[in-house]
A and B are shown apart, each in its own frame.
Chain A
Amino acid sequence: MAVVAGVRTPFARSGTALANYTALDLGRHAVAALMQRTELDGAAVNLLVFGTVLPSVLAPNIAREVSLLPHFPRDVQAFTVGRACASANQAITDAADQIVLGHATVAIAGGAESLTQVPILHSRRMADTLIAASKAKSLSQRLGVLGRIRPRDLIPITPAIAEPSTGQTMGQSADTMAKLNGISRSAQDEFALRSHLRAAEGTRDGRLLAEIAPITIPPTHMEMLASDNGIRADSSLAQLASLKPVFDKQYGTVTAGNASPLTDGAAAVLLMREDVADAHGYAPLGFIRSYAYAAIDPAEQLLQAPVFAAPRALERAGLSLNDIDLVEMHEAFAAQVLSNLHGLASPYWAERAGFSSPVGEVDPTKLNVMGGSLAIGHPFGATGARIVTTLLNELARRGGQFGLLTVCAAGGMGHAMVVERA
């Protein structure tokens, strides 16, 4: 399975540069840019899979809307998948599976998220009243129904990033993980600083910019956003240390500085069978060697499932951590990354995963070498496609052979994938 190219929008803190774009706008931009850069004839594409976490009520199947870009024929198959923060990974593995099954030859997979333009719901009572009013047969009847609205009915329901099963927000879960795994505040802040500094370096030297399709900034469109706007090159430990814990205000260690920010953005990759890539004259970026999904009780350690997924993916690839030249680990929270790293090296977690020995200690020089979601940002539905792209681009630059990526996701889910440079 060849990954031919990957491209994304710049990632922007929500409510900033990309605030006026919907997730669909961003997804279309990323996919159009992918088509422009690869110069692929749209008629060759027969599948588009997209991930999104908070779907728009107006365009629930975002994949289909993206696939209706003028670049593609109208018979492209398109569906939308959801696996929380691993949605783009789900899109990529689903598309890859479809190609392996022979149901498709060329596919685009990715994801998009606007955490600015999230759906806000009416209260249940308000919704019931509005529906009753729409069924009213006369004006007076309608006014009568609408007259039943009380001020408290007007309070909207905003989507919380909380687990439906446990009621815990993701931040609270990260705080809990820090406590359970003994991750200190300073270790988290140091990891966050590292993420920002490396992302800043990757931006400065153009490595991160290479995967970004610049986009004009509404409403004036006078300027182009060409880089991620959440990266702080001037961040410092002192600054990070000064931030107050957000979730557990008394004993917590998770702050806005060591958590990934709410982000708007989209990313997409182009997948095809190796012989098809050859026939189209493409030199692939790399290949998907294996992948795995795993899950854990959300009430335990919500974001620890990558620890289960990674050894399975490695086993399926027939490789061990020693064979891996680069590791990309999604950074939802510094506490989560450090917990995952701790777990990967731990015999206890290895046993729980069903393995006799742990995956091992990840070499810090091979980990998230251009920073991660803490700095770059984390549009839920898009991150997975960014990580695949970043990892393959950097493997090619470094001349390494194998790369491992992991992504944690709400619901206690985790994903891991092993890729190989072409």
Chain B
Amino acid sequence: MNIAIESRSLSVVVEDGIAMITFDAPNAPINALNSRLAGEFDAIFAQLESDEQIVAAVLLSAKPDVWIAGADIEELVSLTTAAEGEALSRGGQRMLDRLAALRKPVVAAIHGACLGGGLEVALACHWRVLSDHPKSVCALPEVQLGLLPGAGGTQRLPQVIGLQAALDLILTSRNVRPRKARSLGLVDDLVHPAILRQVAVQRARELATGTRVRADRKTSASGLLLEDNPVGRALVFRQAREQVMKKTRGAYPAPLAAIDVIAEGQSHGMTRGLEAEAKQFGALAMTAVSRELTFLFFATTALKKDPGVATSGVSARIVKRLGLVGAGFMGAGIAGVAVQKQSPVRFKDASLDRIAAGVRAVRSVLDERRRKRQITRLAFDDMLSLVSGGTDYTGFRKSDLVIEAVFEDLAVKHEVLREVEAAAPNAIFASNTSTIPIARIAEAASRPERVIGMHFFSPVHKMPLLEVIVAPTTNQETIATAVAYGKQLGKTVIVVSDGPGFYVNRILAPYINEAGKLLDEGVGMDAIDEALVAFGFPVGPITLLDEVGLDIAGKSGRIMAEAFGARMEPSSTLQRVIESGRVGRKGGAGFYAYDAAGKKEGPSGSVYALTPIAGARRTMAGSEITDRTVLPMLNEAVRCLEDGVLRSTRDGDVGAVFGIGYPPFRGGPFRTIDAMGAPDVVRRLDALDARFPGRYTPATRLREMAVLRERFYPSTGKPL
């Protein structure tokens, strides 16, 4: 006999004593958890408890490649107090406690994404069967949003897979693939998706009849030593805290809170652990860091859906073949990403040696993935088979998109553009220039409407941003195609208008230059770098110069100074270091000295002799260093908005975080201005401008906002 109860997201069909619970959120592509579901779950739990015919249950998803993707983020951002957050967490905990305490076994039959709250549900079930499909993945990504698993995950995960493994999963948000999930003990069975349901039913019945009992977790030798006694655990927690501090310098409260909550449960039992979890969840939900990280999540999600063109009815061309002129560092970097997305890539460069170097660079990117077992040997061979090249334009005729990554010289770019227009008559021509305005490049075009900028960041396979630069002549189809292809390559794409430095390099220029001027004044390079790393940048500006290459930085610096005058005038120390012939890390010497393997050895003492004050030194407070470098960056971002280079503050914030590593916990330049308040930003800029005339003049928009007490974003609720 079948009994069916209709509810909004969950439905139950009893088949031969097993309640098949199917999660199928209506009108949604995925299953997400929210507090409204609590009633539905409670009703089902009550049915399981009261219905004598039911001996066990299986929890399934009706979504194609998602089991439960986590909590509903819209609900999280609607929280206004820590108490509300704590209550939300309490609600989830109570529901899963009830699930875990059911007398009848519940088996999670998992295929697809099992994330966050979804994994917490699975952990509360009595048995977990996972499909061995590549789409199956388990993770607890809460700390990425500045939160922690709030439905008992911090307590149940260590019980299931052990303390060290649980810490690793929670603190890194690592994606756990099926085989790893099995070996960790995160799931009990790994099966082909075709028999997932069948095996889950079988296990449910076995657990119900007692023919299968959950075995105690096997503890490894290191587990015995470190996890099963208070001294070992204390050591594990101390190491975890040290690692987090080393990685984040304490800027992110969530991982530290997660460690505390796990420790609480380990020392004082699950009840106390759950209390701490709910309390910390509520507190974290109110932190600025969580708000900024959540903002970035919304912003990138919105960008994924943004076609890059305002007009409807414009469709992007499908890029079947990619031509790349220039197999150097950037060209090869783009190729390395493209072949991983199944795009055939053809290089054109001046010599076979350069092609060989390009192919080798692609190989090494793929090889790293192979060594990390992210791709199989066969996938490696397949991806590599998609790249080839030559010294002429053979293989370009049918290219849909040709990206040039040749030397940054307008005449060279013009020559390449003319050649490509002849060799690839249907192709869109994209320049990967970081400095030359696209309109200047398009001057040589017979089809300027198909000329666009695609500014990738280096190293391409690691940097998530793509800046698409639109010249006045660029047409809508070209924009849509560049944006769509950038997304196909897995990039977060912002569309900006043409202009010197576009957006990312333009806001970088005053920051770098002001850092250089601090050097001019005798501030130590390590002090400057340290202050900005403390601010949250991955590396300081002087190290960044060495990484980028002083030759390249010098060239773009001149272009920016020509375009914007005093506020972009490069420092004289930088000029002289460049004149001294140093090129940065790639040449073994820049501001810092490097050993043969390219490892930084420390400030190069002789650089100080090149400062205008001939090596005289002074110390400066970190806060002054950050004010003098970061404020002009914020100011320039506002100017980009005024000038129409940026379409939105969202793009500006995402571009800074993903393009130059602006601290994610600060959300981006515009979010930082909001956090500081425009009046404060203007006051500090004015003070600096009085000391250094013309370099810190606040942008008009900023001054207006200060007067009107305006913000870029709403202060509460959903940020976008």
Residues on A facing B (Cβ under 8 Å): 25, 28-29, 32-33, 35-37, 39, 41, 69-71, 213-214, 216, 221-224, 226
Contacts and interface: CB of A to CB of B under 8 A. Distances in A.
B360, B385, B388: residue with the most chain A Cβ atoms closer than 10 Å: B385
B342 interface: yes
Contact of B385 (A37, A71, A216, A222): A71
B386 interface: yes
A69 to B, nearest CB: 6
A363 B695 CA distance: 82
A223 B353 contact: yes
B459 to A, nearest CB: 18
A29 B382 CA distance: 10
Contacts of A37: 394-395
Given A36-B346, A69-B382, A222-B360, 10 more contacts: A25-B381, A37-B394, A39-B395, A39-B397, A39-B399, A71-B386, A221-B360, A221-B363, A222-B356, A223-B353
Given A69-B385, A71-B344, A221 B356 contact: yes
Interface in B337-389: 342, 344, 346, 352-353, 355-356, 359-360, 363, 381-383, 385-386, 388
Contacts of A32: 385-386, 388
Contact of A41 (B320, B342, B394): B320
A73 B13 CA distance: 41
A224 B344 contact: no
Interface in B307-353: 320-321, 342, 344, 346, 352-353
B356 A216 contact: yes
B381 A28 contact: yes
A213 B360 contact: no
A39 B321 contact: yes
A36 B356 contact: no
18 contacts: A28-B381, A32-B386, A32-B388, A36-B395, A37-B394, A39-B397, A41-B320, A69-B385, A70-B382, A70-B385, A213-B388, A214-B390, A216-B356, A216-B360, A222-B356, A224-B353, A224-B356, A226-B352
Nearest to B346: A36
Contacts of A33: 388
Interface in B144-182: none
A223 B395 contact: no
Nearest to B385: A32
Given A39-B321, A41-B320, A224 B352 contact: yes
Q: What's the interface size class on B, roughly? A: 20 to 34
B359 A28 contact: no
Contacts of B399: 39
A33, A216, A222: residue with the most chain B Cβ atoms closer than 10 Å: A216
Contacts of B344: 35-36, 71
Contacts of A226: 352
A-B pairs, 9 with minimum CB distance:
A224-B356, A39-B398, A32-B385, A70-B382, A224-B352, A36-B388, A221-B360, A36-B395, A216-B356
B360 A29 contact: no
Given A37-B395, A71-B344, A216 B359 contact: yes
Nearest to B388: A36
B346 A221 contact: no
A94 B344 CA distance: 29
B390 to A, nearest CB: 8
B424 to A, nearest CB: 10
A273 to B, nearest CB: 21
Contact of A224 (B355, B381, B383, B395): B355
A222 B395 CA distance: 23
Interface in B396-425: 397-399
A70 B386 contact: yes
Interface string B275-290: 0000000000000000
B342 A70 contact: yes
A28, A32, A35, A224: residue with the most chain B Cβ atoms closer than 10 Å: A224
Nearest to A41: B320
Contacts of B359: 216, 221, 224
B352 A28 contact: no
B308 to A, nearest CB: 27
A266 to B, nearest CB: 13
A224 B359 CA distance: 10
Nearest to A217: B356
A6 to B, nearest CB: 14
Contacts of A35: 344
B385 A28 contact: yes
Contact of B352 (A36, A69, A214): A214
Contacts of B388: 32-33, 36, 213
Contacts of B390: 214
A41 B388 CA distance: 16
Nearest to A33: B388
Nearest to B399: A39
A307 B25 CA distance: 77
